[in-house]
Amino acid sequence: MQIMSLAAGVVMAGEHILIVEDEADIAELVEYNLARADYDPQCVATGEEGLVQAREAEPDLVILDLMLPGLSGLEVCRRLKADPRTARIPVIMLTAKGEEEDIVAGFEAGADDYVTKPFRPKVLLARVRAVLRRGTGQRRREDDVVDLEGLEIHPGRHEVRVDGEVVDLTRTEFRILQFLASRPGWVFTRSQIVRSVHGDDYPVTGRSVDVQVAALRRKLGAAGPLIQTVRGVGYKMGD
């Protein structure tokens, strides 16, 4: 597709998106919808080709099917994220419906978001736009003050306020909140939260993340619902 547009002398202004999908009809559907939305899509059918193209074409985003012949989508994602040349390229995983464990594994492998098949093109496009937007410097620095619908986090002062009132949090609760708020709308798995917090007051496990989040929500009161459960995956901060 890319070669065709180059040959026609068309200058594509949209972001270059690499689609790694072995099912031709799905690849075509995704490619068609991306092109119509003024992106510059390119399809490959195997993980091996995906890795080569990700390095050569330096796409702005990779849409990666999980079930591929040969190298699996998970393995492709791991290799993309392990290679400094491709580690920064965001990855959206395509997974079959109900494979929640695969979604978790995808996030562990470094995927930035996922879409379950069958999907509506509109939904995929919305995810593509969101991931590309996040990629352009939306990530907050650790010391930035966060202000989300009445919830303020002051990292320097280790202080949290809800509607102006100081909320008393433990060190672990504060870290979890700060971690989730570092990327609003971004889903974090329990083990990513554990790794980010690695509590020094006591060991943090996946299960105890649930306990901590429950306590956090309670203490945050009106702002508690900002912390959303993503079933089978983990948590995110509402955006």
Tokens standing for residue 136? 């352009």
Taking the least distance from each CB to Ca ion, the nearer of 98 and 206 is 98
Q: How far is the CB of 157 from Ca ion (least distance, A)?
A: 49
Task: Determine which residue in the list 67, 132, 148, 230 makes contact with Ca ion, applying CB under 5 A.
Answer: 67
By CB under 5 A, is residue 57 in contact with Ca ion? no
Distance CA(85)–CA(65), nearest Å, equals 21
Q: What are phi and psi of 40, to 5 degrees?
A: -115, 85
Which residue spans within 80-158 are E strands per DSSP? 91-96, 113-117, 146-148, 151-154
For the segment 123-142, give every residue that binds Ca ion (CB under 5 A). none
Distance CA(196)–CA(114), nearest Å, equals 21
Taking the least distance from each CB to Ca ion, the nearer of 27 and 146 is 27
Tell me which stretch binds Ca ion (CB under 5 A): 65-73, 109-117, 130-138, 191-199.
65-73
At residue 124, what is the residue type? L
Q: How far is the CB of 16 from Ca ion (least distance, A)?
A: 22
Tell me which stretch binds Ca ion (CB under 5 A): 29-37, 57-65, 82-90, 112-120.
57-65
Nearest residue to Ca ion by CB is 67
CA angle 215, 216, 218 (to 5 degrees): 65
Q: How far is the CB of 68 from Ca ion (least distance, A)?
A: 6
Q: How far is the CB of 92 from Ca ion (least distance, A)?
A: 14
Q: How far is the CB of 69 from Ca ion (least distance, A)?
A: 8
Number of H helices, E strands in the chain: 9, 12
CA angle 21, 27, 29 (to 5 degrees): 150
By CB under 5 A, is residue 22 in contact with Ca ion? yes
At residue 90, what is the residue type? P
By CB under 5 A, is residue 113 in contact with Ca ion? no
Taking the least distance from each CB to Ca ion, the nearer of 22 and 159 is 22
How many other CB atoms are found less than 10 A from the CB of residue 239? 15
Greatest distance between any 2 Cα atoms in the chain:
62
Q: Give the count of residues interacting with Ca ion (CB under 5 A).
A: 3
By CB under 5 A, is residue 65 in contact with Ca ion? yes
Residues of the shown chain interacting with Ca ion in the complex, contacts defined by CB under 5 A = 22, 65, 67
